Chains A and B, each alone.
Chain A
């Protein structure tokens, strides 16, 4: 970013010696327009999506029962009800997924940064984390189906979804944690070692706490990302319009599931619920992301860039 300032000064200086030819100036101008246009091309749809979701979803979300009721017992065309059941389902599945994925991901990152060095296992693990990061969510869902439902014989349930989400979340947690651990100054570790602190204690009491705000940030973004995952829901749990706290069995409502369910409900009520759920889901993701960003600002460790 600092480089940008240099570029701004320079062509002017050059022009004082040799006038830049017309063709080169035109090319430069065209490139400038194209570069600015490409930013607009990306930002316009984003604004458009957010505006659409807000405008169409707000009436539903603003209703008094939206956050307190479920859709239990309401027909497809009866107005009213809310998404309480779906929020509960989404949060429960996200919670179970986080409980498994966060310790696992942080452990892998600690191994990669603190222990692996140039070892073969370190390289293989880095490679495998990359592979896992590229696994499509539908493939993760199929794998859990093949393992959990077909092989182990469990029912489709919320827990199966959470397991599929673990596969998607672990690489995100590993990568962000790894990045934060790597920018913890080596001097800190050396200082601890010089005082005779065992390595495990150095990691637990010096390295991890130093990197903690960054790790929390990355983890929250990862949670936000998996909460919106929909493909595993289709395969691994049925949608239910009522409250189900039991992750181990039965159908379960979730916000993405509710959106897909209401897509088949063509009336105005269905559209309201669908866009309302989309707004609620984006709101949840946004709250997590904003909280994560605020936390990142307070981070004590600064990256190079």
Chain B
């Protein structure tokens, strides 16, 4: 903390410490009780200390530099292509980048499909994740809670390319009766109307969304579980003392405490879904038809479009079109991620 042997700075640091306590929930964490105050350290000024501090600090600055570089380089490489774009980048549905002299690309359909498949996946994953988190923290017999949490984490360890493979070749055929039934029974709803993809053949937003939901369940569950575990014991016991059933304990004690954490976790999962590439690349069928907001539409998401375009990455301008799309995806995940952090922070900060 003490970068210069400057008494003013040392005092400032000291004040920070007094106010914040600056520690992990478990007590005054390292750097809390034992601040690296200039006057305490047995060490300041030694070569070894200066070297280690400078090294680690450089690494820390390096992370910020990396993130900044991502934004800067993507923007820099996207601009030439965007300047020569003959279509409106945000509102156009077409994507023709093969003719470098007449670039015309827009992300309207890609963005719509990305949002729809992610929201659909989130709608499926949220209740399931909530259920698992509640199960692990409140319902499971002690012998089951640990293993179940561990196995759900395993879902995150399966590589996305395997999810894609399974989704395309195993899940899609198995879902055919369900998809057909939804389409024939609820087809009057635009959501279940016959879209640009084949209902029976899979390769639709429907199949992709289910695969995606599986992939984000462990993300949401992991965070939610941690938050639910921290429910104040007194709240739970108070509810029990009033004769609450197990579900009423969840509803009256766990949920009010953990709601913002759960929502933050869900947004984290949404961010992951927005950027997921391989599962969509493999499951979704490409189509030239416009996107119509049906679950049985096909097409490409921003990420899978970029992956599909790898063969065109020979020319700087062609690549620029995909880089522009990537920049939008980066901005989108950034905004969603920031939202997730804000919600989670508000939840923790507002608590007594």
A-side interface residues toward B, CB under 8 Å?
1, 3-7, 10-11, 14-15, 17-18, 20, 24-25, 27-28, 31-32, 34-39, 41-43, 45-46, 48-49, 52-53, 104, 107-108, 110-119, 121-122, 124-125, 127-140, 142-143, 145-147, 150-151, 167, 170, 174, 181-184, 186, 189-190, 193, 196-204, 207, 221, 224-225, 227-231, 234-235, 256, 259-260, 263, 274-275, 278, 281-282, 285-286, 289, 304-305
Contacts and interface: CB of A to CB of B under 8 A. Distances in A.
Contacts of B142: 1, 4-5
B12 to A, nearest CB: 10
B42 A198 contact: yes
Looking at chain B, what size class is its interface with the partner chain?
Answer: 35 or more
Contacts of B217: 42
A121 B61 contact: yes
A104 B247 contact: no
Contacts of B247: 27-28, 31-32
Nearest to A127: B341
Contacts of A7: 138, 236, 240, 246, 249
A136 B274 contact: yes
B135 A36 contact: yes
A137 B35 CA distance: 38
A23 B118 CA distance: 36
By Cβ-Cβ distance, the 6 closest A-B pairs, closest first, are: A136-B275, A38-B131, A228-B159, A14-B243, A107-B59, A111-B56
Given A111-B56, A139-B330, A193-B41, A43 B63 contact: no
28 contacts: A1-B229, A3-B231, A11-B243, A14-B243, A18-B243, A20-B243, A25-B245, A39-B132, A45-B214, A46-B158, A108-B63, A110-B52, A116-B60, A118-B13, A136-B329, A136-B333, A139-B333, A150-B77, A167-B66, A193-B43, A196-B42, A198-B48, A202-B43, A221-B157, A228-B159, A260-B282, A263-B165, A285-B158
B298 to A, nearest CB: 17
B337 A200 contact: no
Contacts of B146: 1
A38 B225 CA distance: 14
Nearest to A25: B245
A289 B150 CA distance: 11
B245 A11 contact: yes
Nearest to A274: B165
B74 A112 contact: no
Contacts of A39: 131-132, 135, 148
A108 B59 contact: yes
B235 to A, nearest CB: 11
Given A134-B268, A136-B329, A229-B159, 7 more contacts: A1-B137, A3-B231, A35-B139, A45-B214, A111-B57, A118-B17, A139-B333
B113 interface: no
Contacts of B33: 186
A138 B326 contact: yes
A278 B73 contact: no
Interface in B308-349: 310, 313, 316, 319, 322-323, 326, 329-330, 333-334, 336-338, 341
A281 B162 contact: yes
Given A113-B30, A274-B165, A134 B160 contact: no
A135 B70 contact: yes
- Centre residue among B76, B155, B330 by max chain A CB count within 10 A: B330
Interface string B52-75: 110111111111101101100110
A124 B159 CA distance: 31
B56 A110 contact: yes
Given A25-B245, A224-B157, A285-B157, A121 B74 contact: no
Contacts of B55: 107
Given A4-B142, A6-B237, A124-B64, A136 B42 contact: no
A36 to B, nearest CB: 7
Nearest to A195: B42
A114 B1 CA distance: 8
A14 B330 contact: no
B259 interface: no
B75 to A, nearest CB: 9
Contacts of B351: none
Nearest to A31: B247
A129 B66 CA distance: 10
